[in-house]
Structure 1
């Protein structure tokens, strides 16, 4: 077995999920689907404009994604797995692109938004953001499958500072390119917003983005065996699909019920892998403390035997 797979055995998220994990994941997925179906008939109901909602929601989401990315990069430092590097990069991409979305949102920091944003910029950044993350998940699933099937052809990365810095720079560059295209290059893109309402073009763009998310879920599901991380990542994609559906597919524009409900889904989705990682770190620390105490007891016993 390759060095990558050997090191992964020590990580809880890289172990096979138990029945309880599957049950909890299925419960969250079913509940998300029920909420989605309940909200779809009312998705276009216009609600009050709450100026503070967007910065509060996106600040929490960016923080969640940054912490998740940092923890996943830490997992990569242990496993040296290309798949883990791809997933960590996906969370970093979402955090950086969400920041661009926040800064460009009209009326928050400037009447038309910052970064030279135009009337189409925020909506397009949202589309790039929500299409980008599933693509990183697809990359994670494909690389994970190859590492499982052909471990000798995909040895563990040699971790260097240059590797980490180049990866972070590439991800931030991709995010910056998306934001630049949606702002400075907005004239190259078809209009998807008319004031706060969607144009007919939005149906095509949103449907394509939704389709990418569904494809990512299918690819991840078909990549066996499933790890605990994979199960929670599938839950993230289910919630992500609900987010895109309510925010861009079934609603009519900004500040309707779908706009708010979809973003609540998005914030919840950003938290599942983070919570799993935090729980894993706590459990691993507990196991390490227990192992250390057991070693001390064994050492004390050996000393006693020698003296006797």
Structure 2
């Protein structure tokens, strides 16, 4: 039904192998326990009458809690089948009250309601046959169509109808003993007529269990089968094995009845908590995913600003230089043209940066081509030549002429090199004594591919910050944004490579880019 597809409910989820295996072990345990009870079933348990109220209280609490949980499940799923099962547990729970109040020896010698000989047995017979009948209704009701339209009214009607049936049965049982079936010979022993009740209850339990197993292959249905099996064992012990009330077989059957009442409750509680745990984990995962998407969007927008800032600054510097050349008494048109060309080149560079950043955050490998890393190093140095000259940095290159080409996006890889060169320039800007040397070298590792190494003689890396270098928005620069290295690593990893940074002795830092073979 439609609701079953939308809600991961116990009444719709199919049981997994572990749940089915546990259910089979419980069935086996029931059979073994029943067999172990038979030899001593006829032995009396004298003085055990006062324990009946405690047993009835446990049964009442278990049945009513199960009914409440099943009604809550019905409110979500709007299932007629689950509604019938909830009414069954409510019926069993409510009939415990008059049964315990009329049971001889529980509260008084003749019971608090002081009914005749047949009253307690009549209530017990009604309860004995009632649960498997409700379980059969659970198995047979069809939930393939639309759910219950007015679920609140349906649940209220079910509760009131069940209360009315229990009240009517109780009134009939206590009104006049002469009208009741002759189930009891005396306070302890039953008539042959009583044997029909547990026999019919056992038959209904078997039929109900088979139908539930066949038609309702769900977690809830699995535990209803266990409950019906326990009900079957209880019926057999009470009707055919025990020696009447308060014998070993009678008490064993009652304990199986308590198990029958508790197994669905335990399943509902445990599976509900498991579902709740999965829901909490799912919500937490969704929240983390949403936060990650927001962080990515922030990183993307901030990284575009970060990366475009360099070509914009160069364009401003070139434009200022061009204006100065034009403001001379005799304007130098050739220098002005050179400045304008630099502006055009920086404009194209900014466009490539934006495209590269956008592509870096996509999945897959678009715009890939064969890349000569040695030529790319020269192009990156040409892009950063102005900054290198201004900061009086000596550039040394050691490029392997036999380096094999790699496959990648040249704009993105050039962006990585420009970022690393810019970081090296910033690191050496604080060096007042000693050489300022930027060394770039390429080499071919033994496993294939290519390596680009960028070394500087700057201030080096603080070991405290070593593990945070690639965190978003972490920076040691006064005006940094903390995105350059993050973008570089994202680009390199998108190419199947690896980016690492380490300190350099006696000072400076070494950045190593490893790219796979093309």
* TM over 0.5, shorter chain: yes
Task: Name the CA distance, whole Å, in 2 between partners of 1:198 and 1:17.
Answer: 41
Q: State the match for 2:235 in structure 1.
A: 244
- In our comparison, the structure showing a higher alpha carbon Rg is 2
Distance 1:113 1:198 in 2: 18
> Could you tell me which of 213, 218, 238 is aligned with 1:221?
213
Query: Offset of 1:241 from its aligned partner?
Result: 0.7
In 2, Cα distance between equivalents of 1:249 and 1:258? 9
Which of 197, 203, 220 in structure 2 is aligned with 1:205? 197
What's the counterpart of residue 11 of structure 1? 9
- Across the two proteins, how many residue pairs are aligned to each other? 298
Task: Indicate conservation of the 8 Å contact 1:4/1:81, yes or no.
Answer: no
Q: Which ranges of structure 2 fall in alignment gaps of 5 or more residues? A: 300-518
In 2, Cα distance between the equivalents of 1:260 and 1:61? 13
CA contact (8 A) 2:23 2:223 kept: yes
Higher helix share: 1
2: CA distance, partners of 1:26 / 1:212: 20
Q: Given the alignment of the two structures, is residue 164 of structure 1 paired with residue 155 of structure 2, yes or no?
A: yes
1:34-71 deviations in whole A, cap 9, x for unaligned?
22122223322222121332111110111011111000
> Larger deviation: 130-139 or 45-54?
45-54
Does residue 293 in structure 1 map to residue 291 in structure 2? no
In the alignment, the residues of structure 2 paired with residue 229 and residue 279 of structure 1 have an alpha-carbon distance, to the nearest angstrom, of 12
8 A contact 1:104–1:114 mirrored in 2: yes
Q: Distance in 1 between matches of 2:197 and 2:298?
A: 77
1:1-308 matches, within 5 Å, as 2-7=1-6, 9-143=7-141, 146-147=142-143, 151=144, 154-193=145-184, 194-223=186-215, 226-308=217-299
Q: Any idea what the Cα deviations from partners look like across 1:47-104, whole Å, max 9, x if unmatched?
A: 2121332111110111011111000111001100000100111100000011111111
Query: SS of 1:14's equivalent?
Result: coil
Are the equivalent residues in 2 in contact too, given 1:206–1:248 (CA < 8 A)? yes
Q: CA deviation at 1:185?
A: 4.5
C-alpha spacing 1:249/1:182, structure 2 compared with 1 (3 Å): farther
Verify the 8 A CA contact 1:61 1:95 in the aligned structure 2.
yes
| Residue ranges of structure 1 left out of the alignment (5+ in a row) | none
Contact 1:116–1:184, Cα closer than 8 Å, also in 2 = no
TM-score for both structures, normalised by structure 1: 0.91
Higher relative contact order (CA 8 A, sep 6+): 1
Q: Which moved more, 1:78-87 or 1:245-254?
A: 245-254
RMSD of aligned Cα (Å): 1.8
Q: Which segment is superposed worse, 226-235 or 133-142?
A: 226-235
Q: Which runs of 4+ in 1 moved over 3 A?
A: none
Q: Is contact 2:128-2:201 (8 Å) kept?
A: yes
Q: TM-score, normalised by structure 2?
A: 0.55
Aligned to 2:390: none
Residue in 1 that maps onto 2:451: none
In the alignment, is the contact (CA less than 8 A) between 2:4 and 2:12 conserved in 1?
A: no
Deviation at 1:109, TM superposition (A): 2.9
Q: CA deviation at 1:219?
A: 2.5
Could you say if the C-alpha distance between residues 213 and 181 of structure 1 is closer, same or farther in structure 2, counting changes exceeding 3 Å? Answer: farther
Higher strand proportion, which one? 2
State the distance in 2 between where 1:91 and 1:204 align. 23
